Structure 1
C-alpha cells in the first residue's frame, strides 16, 4: 500500500509551530471511564488518533452514543443504554489496540459480563494481560479463556480488595481504578503507577463521584460508591508527543514551538534536554525547543517509571544522541525490547552497541535475563537515508526523526502505525518544512518532469 509508505528527503532543519492535543495515554482511558456513569460525559482536547477511533467503535458496539461536540476536539459520550455486543463485532477489533482489556471492570459493573478479544499494541517487550485477569478475580470476577478471547462474569457486585503490584504498571493501575470505583468496600493498591495520565484519570473519576486518595508512597485507596455520574473534562496535553517534537528539533538542528506543551509533566525531560545541549523556552501557551548551535553533549541516562525519565522519551532522544559528541549510555529499565529499533539506525550510519548488562546505577528486572536493554551511543555520526520498517509507535516516529536528520532520501514503511499516537503527523511535518511525500505523489511528479 503506497499510503503506508513515506519518502523522507532529509538534511533540512525542522522549523515552525505545531499544536498538540490530549494525551494518547489518557484520552482512550477517559473514554472507557464514561461507561461507568449514569449520565453523559463530555471530553475535550481529544486527538484524532487511531486509538481513539478503536475505543469509540467499541463503545458504540456496547450501546454508548458517541458524538462530536460544538468545540473542536470534543466528544460527548452517553452510556444510558449500555448493552452486550456481538462477539464477532468485538473480535473485529482484535489486534488493533490493548485498550479493550480496560473495558473489563466497567462492563462487569454495567452488564455483569464482558468479552475481551485478543490484544494488539506495540511489540516493545512483555506486557502480560494475565495480571489484569488475576486482579479482576480478586475483585470477584469469574474468568474463562477461549481461543477467540476471554469471557468474564460477575454474578454479584464486585468487592474491594488489597492489591500490591510487583511493578508500578500503568495498565494494571488503570485496571484497578476503573474496577474499584464501583466495587463494594475499600480497595487498597500498593506500588501503583503515578504518571500524570494516571492522576488525570483519577481526576476524571473523582468528577464522576468516585472517592480516591493518592498517597505519597505509591498507595492508592479507593472507597467504592453505589453510582457514578458523567463528567466534563479537558484532557491533559500529550507530553510524550511534545518530547518527540523536541527531539526532532534537536536532531535536525531545528527550532519548533510546541503549542499546548506544559512544563510540569515534562520536568524530567526538560532537565535531560538541557544536559544534552538543547535549548527551550516556556510560556503560557507552550514550549519552544531548539538546537542552539555548537556540539551536543553525551549523557548517561536511565529510563524509569514516573517521576523518572519516561521510556517513551527514550527512542526519539537516542536519535538525537547519535549527533552528540562522545559516548552516551542508555539503560532501558521499563521494556526489555525497546532498544531493538537501533539496528536500523546503525544501517543509516549510527554507532550504537547493545548490551545485556545493566549499564546504569541500579540493576533492573532485565539484568540477569539476557535482554539487550542497555546501549552505548558513539557520536556524532553522519546519518544517511535508508530503508526503514517501523517496529512500534515511538520507534516509528524516531525513524522519521532519523530520516529527517539524514542526508539523502529514506523510504519509511508502516507509517500507519504512527497514527496510533500522533495526530496529523504528516501535516505537522509539512508545516515545519519537512520534505516528505507518498510514493504515488512522487511517481506523478516524476511523470510530469519527464513530460
Structure 2
C-alpha cells in the first residue's frame, strides 16, 4: 500500500523549523570525499533521500560512512575504495542523477566508472550527454551499453578549455570534480556560480585543490597529484528556507526558520517583501510572516544566480494565487516546470500557461513550443483535492497549497519530497498542521 498523506487545510502555520545543509551541496560534497587520500568530515548533513542514496553508492565502492544523526555529522573514509558491481550501482542509484558526478573521481582513483540510466525530477531537459561530452574533453572514452555507460581514461585525464553554452550547475560540478586531479590546467567559461558551487570549491580547496573564480564566470583549476580529506560545515539549504517562507505567506502564518541565512536569499527576500511578506533576521535564522495586508501581484522571472532561482518559483506561485491582481512568472531555467500548476487549477487557482516569453530576461525556450510563462489571477479560494506529487519542489508547493486550502486534500507520491526536505511531515505537524500519514 502506497503512502497517503491526508491534510485538513485552512490553518495558519505557526512556530519554528530548522534547516540543515543544502540538498544541492551535501551529496556533491560526499562525492568529493572520493578524491581524498584521508577521511573527511561533513557537518550539518540533513536526513534526506539523496544523502541516503549517495551513502549507499559510496559504501558499495568501499567507502566507510559513519553517521551521527543528532548532530548531522558524516565521516567518510575512502582509503579502502574499490570498484563496485554494475548491478549494485544500478540497485542503489534509485532516481538520483548524482551517479554521473562519480565519474571523474572514480576514473582518477579506479581508472574507470560505470553509471546506470539516470532518473530525477521530470521538470525539463536535463540530458547527461553534455556531462559525457565534458568527460570526453578531459580524455575519457565513453562506451554506452545496454545496462548503462562505461567510462575509462586509458591515457589519463588532461586539463581542458571549456565554454558552457549555459551556466549549468551540474556541468560545472562535473568539471570541478574531474579537473582538480587532471594533468595540467582547466579553464571553464560561463560557469555556474551558485552559493553551492562556491561551497564545493571551498571543500576542494581544503583538500588541496588550486581553484580560482573570476568575476566573468570563468573558473580556473590547476590539477594536482594528490588531495587530502576535508572538515566542512555545509551551507544551509536556501531552497528549504524559501519554501517555509512561502508556506508562512500562503497560510497567513508565522514561521521562524532556524539556520536560514540571509546572504544567499537576497533575491528571494526582495521578492518576498514586494509581494507583502515580512521577515526579520537574527543570528540564528529568519522569521517569516504574513503582514496582514492583501498580497500584491508582481512580475517575476527566474534566472541563474544571483537571480531569482528556479527552485523558489513553484512555492512562490502558490503565494501569488493569493495576491490581489494579475501576476506574471517567466521560467527561464527549466522548460517544463509549470506542470505542477494543473493540481493548483483543480484546487481553484486561476493560472494560464503560455508559450511566449512574458518577460525581458534572455530565454532559451521562446521558439521551442514550451509552456514556460504563467499568468496568475488572484486571489483564489483554494479547495482541497487529490494530488499526486510530480517532482520535488512542485510536491512541496502542493503541500503548501493543501495546507492553505479549505477542506481535505489527499496526497500521494510524497516519497519524492523526502529527496530534499528533511522530516517534512514532522515539521508541518509541529507548525500546527492537521495531517495524517497512512500506508507504507
- Taking structure 1 as the reference length, the TM-score comes to 0.96
| Matches of 1:391 and 1:49, distance apart in 2 | 18
Residue in 1 that maps onto 2:146: 147
Secondary structure of the 1:279 match is: strand
**For the aligned residues, what is the CA RMSD?**
1.1
Matches within 5 A, 1:135-284: 135-284=134-283
Matches within 5 A, 1:57-206: 57-69=56-68, 72-206=71-205
Instruction: Give the deviation of 1:439 after TM superposition.
Output: 3.6
Instruction: Give the deviation of 1:147 after TM superposition.
Output: 1.3
Residue in 1 that maps onto 2:323: 324
Residue in 2 that maps onto 1:391: 390
| Matches of 2:260 and 2:182, distance apart in 1 | 36
Aligned residues: 440
Instruction: Give the deviation of 1:68 after TM superposition.
Output: 1.9
| Matches of 2:417 and 2:176, distance apart in 1 | 28
Residue in 1 that maps onto 2:305: 306
| Matches of 2:230 and 2:93, distance apart in 1 | 29
Decide whether the 8 Å contact of 2:356 with 2:372 is kept in 1. yes
Q: 1:69 to 1:382 in 2, by over 3 A?
A: closer
Instruction: Give the deviation of 1:91 after TM superposition.
Output: 1.1
Decide whether the 8 Å contact of 1:61 with 1:85 is kept in 2. yes
Matches within 5 A, 1:428-439: 428-439=427-438
Decide whether the 8 Å contact of 1:185 with 1:223 is kept in 2. yes
Deviation per CA, 1:394-438, whole angstroms, max 9, x where unpaired?
000000000000000000110111000000000000110000002
- Contiguous gaps of at least 5 residues in structure 2: none
Secondary structure of the 1:148 match is: coil
- Taking structure 2 as the reference length, the TM-score comes to 0.99
Q: 1:75 to 1:365 in 2, by over 3 A?
A: same
Deviation per CA, 1:43-83, whole angstroms, max 9, x where unpaired?
00000000000000000111101012496100000000110
Secondary structure of the 1:358 match is: coil
Deviation per CA, 1:310-346, whole angstroms, max 9, x where unpaired?
0000000000000000000000000000011111101
| Matches of 1:411 and 1:179, distance apart in 2 | 44
Instruction: Give the deviation of 1:157 after TM superposition.
Output: 2.5
Decide whether the 8 Å contact of 2:57 with 2:93 is kept in 1. no
- Contiguous gaps of at least 5 residues in structure 1: 442-451
| Matches of 1:27 and 1:198, distance apart in 2 | 11
Secondary structure of the 1:233 match is: strand
| Matches of 2:216 and 2:85, distance apart in 1 | 42
